[in-house]
Amino acid sequence: MIPSAPHFLAYAVHRLTNDIAPALPDEYLAQSTGMMGGMMAVATQQADCAVDDMVWDITQLHELLTQATVILEHAQTDQPDFNSLRLSSLIPQYHRLAIQLVEVHALVEEMTSAQARALNARIWDYLTTSAQRRRIDIFD
């Protein structure tokens, strides 16, 4: 059996934080090593859900921006492209859509129609849910 990447990372985190860092005589190096262990623990957690989060965010953003085209004349959105699920492909898509959302959100906040208020509420629902999905709880 080949150890999986998460299995190895969990081992490395444990060794770094519990064995190697405490054994280092230099206080600064010991604390730096402990922090690197903490970062590896976060990376392990993030790596498992990164693609899932990105696909969810891109899908949600696309839906919101499509809804915005109903009330904002110049609003537009790109179709999601999930032909590749590499993060290097998904992250630029997410950034483009998030920038569009920032622009749309600023306009919607200034509008008073019921449609605009409803869209504003949906945007906040997305933003709070997205923030919770990306939560790093290792240090809580």
Partner 1 sequence: MASVDPQLAERLTHYLTHKFPHWQNLSATITARIHGGASRETYRAKLTYQENGRPVERGIILRRDPVGSLIETDRAIEFHAYRTFYGTTVPVPEPIALELDLQWMDRPFFIMGEIPNASAGSPFGPVPYGDQCDKVGAQFWSILGAIAATGCDVGRLAELSPLPAEPWRDALDYWEGVINADALEPYPVLRAAIRRLRRNPPPPPIRPGVVHGDYRRGNFLFDDQGDIKAILDWEMCHLGDPYEDLGWALDPIWGQMQRERPGGMMDRDAGLALWSKASGISIDTKALAWWELFAQVKGMAIWISSGKEFVEGKNQDPVLAISSWICIDRHTRLMADRLSTCSGVPQ
**List of residues contacting partner 1 (CB under 8 A):** 26-28, 31-32, 35-36, 38-39, 42, 95, 98-99, 101-102, 105-106, 109, 124-125, 127-128, 131-132, 134-136, 139-140
Sequence-ordered list of residues with C-beta below 8 angstroms from that of 138, at least 6 positions apart, any chain? 38, 41, 42, 45
**Is the CA virtual torsion 3, 5, 48, 87 positive or negative?**
negative
Q: CB 138: neighbour CB atoms within 10 A? A: 12
How open is the CA angle 87-89-93, to the nearest 5 degrees? 105
What is the nearest approach in angstroms of partner 1 to the Cβ of residue 105?
6
Provide the minimum distance between the beta carbon of 56 and partner 1 in the complex, in angstroms, as a whole number.
15
Residue type, 123: I
Instruction: Please identify, using beta-carbon distances, which residue of 3 and 76 lies nearer to partner 1.
Output: 76
For the chain, where are the E strands, in sequence order? none
Q: Which is nearer to partner 1, 84 or 128 (CB)?
A: 128
Q: Residue 125 CB, nearest distance to partner 1 (Å)?
A: 8
CB of 11 to partner 1, least distance (A): 20
Nearer to partner 1, 3 or 95 (CB): 95
Q: How far is residue 108's CA from residue 68's CA, in Å, rounded to a whole number?
A: 8
> Which C-beta is closer to partner 1: that of 5 or that of 121?
121
